[in-house]
């Protein structure tokens, strides 16, 4: 089980600043996060965290 897919939204809340606009993109941790292959990480480790309870989800 992985994260839910992100829905594309075209409407933006006028008074709510998006997180991407609040982050300092020059920060070392932000740069490091950009270098990590997150999909490879998820493919390798997500089977270790599958739920053993509840209804099984079909694989995509």
User: What pLDDT is stored for residue 20 in this prediction?
Assistant: 82
Q: Which residue has the tokens 């480790």?
A: 45
Q: Average pLDDT by consecutive 10-residue portion of the chain (60 residues)?
A: 68 75 92 94 88 71
Residue at 40 is within a domain? yes
pTM: 0.48
Residue at 11 is within a domain? no
CA distances from residue 24 to 4, 7, 9, 13 in whole angstroms, order as listed: 26, 24, 23, 21
User: What pLDDT is stored for residue 18 in this prediction?
Assistant: 83
Contacts within 8 Å (CB) and 24+ apart, 39-47: 42/2, 46/1, 46/2
User: What pLDDT is stored for residue 10 in this prediction?
Assistant: 62
Residue at 33 is within a domain? yes
User: What pLDDT is stored for residue 1 in this prediction?
Assistant: 59
Residue at 28 is within a domain? yes
Residue at 38 is within a domain? yes
Residue at 5 is within a domain? no
Its domain, for residue 29, covers 22-46
Number of domains in the chain: 1
């Amino acid at each position: 089980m992985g994260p839910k897919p992100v829905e594309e939204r075209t409407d933006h809340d006028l008074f709510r600043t998006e997180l991407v606009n609040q982050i300092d993109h020059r920060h070392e941790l932000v740069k490091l996060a950009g270098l990590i292959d997150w999909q490879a990480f998820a493919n390798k480790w997500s089977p270790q965290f599958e739920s053993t309870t509840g209804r099984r989800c079909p694989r995509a």
